[in-house]
Amino acid sequence: MHDPELLTRYNYDEFVPEKFEPWMRFEESPPLGRRAPSFPLWRLDGGERVELRQLWRAYRYLVLEFGSFT
């Protein structure tokens, strides 16, 4: 589903609970120790799309960072 306001809501202008709590959905995450489902990722340098499962095969340890730092 296309949400034209998605970036506006994600890039909120102040760090207050009513603006960041809708993004905090930890109950939807896989439990600790269980592999996450594969999904597409895009390189920050504009390179080609890669699937998460491809990175699991390429690296012994893999850390992915999502979100923003406030």
The whole-number pLDDT of residue 68 equals 60
The whole-number pLDDT of residue 67 equals 66
Average pLDDT per run of 10 along the chain, which is 70 residues long? 77 85 83 86 84 91 72
Global confidence as pTM: 0.52
The whole-number pLDDT of residue 51 equals 93
The whole-number pLDDT of residue 19 equals 86
SS3 content of the chain, % helix, strand, coil (to 5): 30, 10, 60
